A and B are shown apart, each in its own frame.
Chain A
Amino acid sequence: MCACLPGAREYRRSVRKNQALNDHFHWFLDFLHHVHGITEMFGRSLVLSFIKPFYLRDTIEQMYHIGVKSLSIVLMTSIFTGLVLALQFGHEMSVYGAKMYTSSVLIVSLVRELGPVIISLVVAGRVGAGITAELGSMAVTEQIDAMRALGTNPYKKLAATRFLALSIMLPLLVAIGDFCGMLGGWIVSVTTLGISTDYYWSNAIHYLFFSDIFAGLLKPFIFAMAIASISCYHGFSVTGGTKGVGEATTRSVVVSSILIFILDFLITKVTLGAV
């Protein structure tokens, strides 16, 4: 154990010597530090989700907080997304005389792309921020220490339950949101585009393939794991009192949002090639 100390001192000296270099690259080191922390949180949550005790009650409670309480905002955003998209597509496509195909374009873009991304962003803002703020205030008021002192693993009781609940609920929310988006599109199609209800739905279903549904539900599942890992990591690592909680919450939402776009690109690339 003592052998590592001179090493540490050496390290500190070299850090000081390279202060200029260090100042320049400290954002990069910070970045690596956070990537490491988030990855670690992801691994922990994933493994702990399969190890006893299972905290069924806590998980169900979280599913309620995450899923049921997000329903109204998910409904609102997805209906309006459907309304706007149908207007835009209908307008553009009527130029080419293809406005009958509005619903087929709409359903594919909603299910594959816009549903998962928009709803995940909304949930990252609502739920992710909530998780970071809650765990963060528990950290600064020593509640997480107290939990460990009482012999309970907070990564299991707090992080893994949220991880599991979010991974189950986000794909469900997206499925509901996709349907509401299609409802929005239907309203516009019938009222302003002059497409019949029958044609709207049959055309939509005709052009919806299993691969679309698969990609469209895989995305929110992966986004959910990312949002949970990021928001739990930021919550657990809050220091510096209530001000720290606010900063961590903001950072958690920003990082989740960016990662959603990056992952979306990667998953699209992989699933378009494969299926």
Chain B
Amino acid sequence: MENYKIIFQDIYKSFGDKAVLQGLNLSIRRGETLVILGRSGCGKSVSLKILLGLLYPDRGKVYLDGEEITGMSEKKLVEVRKKIGMLFQGSALFDSLTVGENVAFALAEHSNRTADEIAEIVDNNLKFVEMEGTVNLMPSELSGGMKKRVALARAMAYQPEILLYDEPTTGLDPITATTINALIRKTQREYGVTSIVVTHELDSGFSVADRAAVMESGRILEIGTIAEIKGSTNEFVRTFIAGAK
């Protein structure tokens, strides 16, 4: 238990009659980068949202640092969420705010830092994701890859212990995807965060992760090192890997 930063324990979640998560069990070690691979619609984004407390599971428990977070009040969840940064599938930048205001959002909301201090952190974060000089642009003026980078800068602004990446490279050209993957590794290296990367792109996933998990129909079919997953005997995992090639 101590080695694990995050534990999903037997999670069930349905929307109406549609069962999405059906007994999800998954443990993420402190400081590792775990990639969750799975087909579109298997429940990857829903799992991340449950971890953030944005969705509530019908059954099961989620632990963070050994503390159960399912069933916590919205107020207590705020403290949990400050530990987690999330890069949303569609970036989800606030389109009425500038790039700078987006990155500054959590700092302006929760910290007592002065405007100058915040501006400095924003500059540093934008530099980290190689987006310096974009502070005053609006999100609508950015390309998809640029949005993802700004969203990463925003997620990192509060120096979270955990980073969740929902499809960080989907829909990007291979070169941009490679730079995003490099960023994920750099973040991991420099900040020592625990990360979960969700994707259906095998190569991207394997290139950033320490371990991989294959998900199907709301369950984890197989979890292990990348070599173990590649050599899996599970029928579905093999077809998934073959199909993705």
Interface residues in chain A, defined as those with a beta carbon under 8 Å from any beta carbon in chain B: 1-2, 5, 8, 12, 53, 138, 141-143, 145-153
Of A53, A142, A147, A153, the contact of B89 (CB 8 Å cutoff): A142
Residues of B within 8 A of A151 (CB): 78, 81-82, 106, 109-110, 158
Which residue from chain A places its CB closest to the CB of B106 in the assembled complex? A150
Q: Evaluate whether A146 and B109 lie within 8 angstroms (CB atoms) in the complex, with A1-B59, A2-B59, A5-B59 already known.
A: no
In the bound complex, do residue A142 and residue B81 qualify as a contact, i.e. CB atoms below 8 Å apart?
no
**Interface contact A142-B92, CB-CB below 8 Å:** yes
Decide: B105 and A142 in contact? CB cutoff 8 A: no
Contacts A141-B92, A143-B95 given; indicate if A149 touches B86 (C-beta within 8 A).
yes
How many residue pairs, one in A and one in B, have C-beta atoms under 8 Å apart?
A: 58
CB distance from B193 to the nearest CB of A (A): 15
Minimal beta-carbon separation of B22 from chain A (angstroms): 13
Which A residues are in CB contact (< 8 Å) with B90?
A: 141-142
Expressed in whole angstroms, the Cα–Cα distance for A138 and B110 within the complex equals 22
- B212 contacts A by Cβ under 8 Å: no
Q: Residue B58 at the A interface, CB < 8 A?
A: yes
B81 close to A149 (CB less than 8 A):
yes
**B92 adjacent to A148 (CB under 8 Å):** no
With CB as the reference atom, state the residue of chain B lying closest to A55.
Answer: B109
Give residues in B with beta carbon < 8 Å to A. Answer: 17, 49, 52-54, 58-59, 74, 78, 81-82, 84, 86, 88-90, 92-95, 105-106, 109-110, 154, 158
Check if A145 sits within 8 Å of B88, measured CB to CB. yes
Decide: B54 and A147 in contact? CB cutoff 8 A: no
Query: Given that A142-B88, A150-B109 are known contacts, is A5 also in contact with B54, CB under 8 Å in the complex?
Result: no
Set of chain B residues within 8 Å of A12, measured between Cβ atoms: 17
CB distance from B150 to the nearest CB of A (A): 12
The residue that A143 contacts in the complex, of B59, B94, B106, with Cβ under 8 A, is B94
Residue of B nearest to A15 (CB): B17
User: Given A5-B58, A142-B88, A142-B89, does the pair A147, B110 have CB atoms closer than 8 Å?
Assistant: no
Residue of B nearest to A142 (CB): B92
- Asked whether A147 and B94 contact (CB < 8 A) given A142-B88, A142-B89, A152-B109, the answer is yes
5 closest Cβ contacts across the A-B interface?
A146-B92, A142-B92, A150-B106, A151-B78, A151-B81
Would you call B109 and A143 a contact (CB within 8 A)? no
Beta-carbon nearest neighbor of B55 in chain A:
A145
Q: Report A-chain residues with C-beta under 8 Å of the C-beta of B88.
A: 142, 145-146, 149
Please name the residue on chain A nearest to B105 by beta carbon.
Answer: A150
Rounded to whole Å, the gap between the CB of A220 and the closest CB of chain B is 27
- Most central of A141, A150, A151 by chain B CB within 10 Å: A150
Cβ–Cβ contact B54 & A145, under 8 A: yes
- Chain B: minimal CB distance from A142 (Å): 4
Given the complex, which residues of A lie within 8 Å of B74, measured CB to CB? 153
Q: List 17 additional contacts besides A142-B90, A151-B82, A151-B110; criterion CB under 8 Å.
A: A2-B59, A5-B59, A142-B89, A143-B95, A145-B88, A145-B92, A146-B92, A146-B94, A147-B94, A147-B105, A148-B81, A149-B52, A150-B154, A150-B158, A151-B109, A151-B158, A153-B74
User: Which of A141, A143, A146, A152 has the most CB atoms of chain B within a 10 A radius of its CB?
Assistant: A146
Q: B84 near A149 (CB under 8 angstroms)?
A: yes
Is there contact, CB below 8 Å, between B81 and A150?
yes
Cα(A141)–Cα(B90), bound, Å: 7
Complex-state Cα separation, A5 to B59, whole angstroms: 9
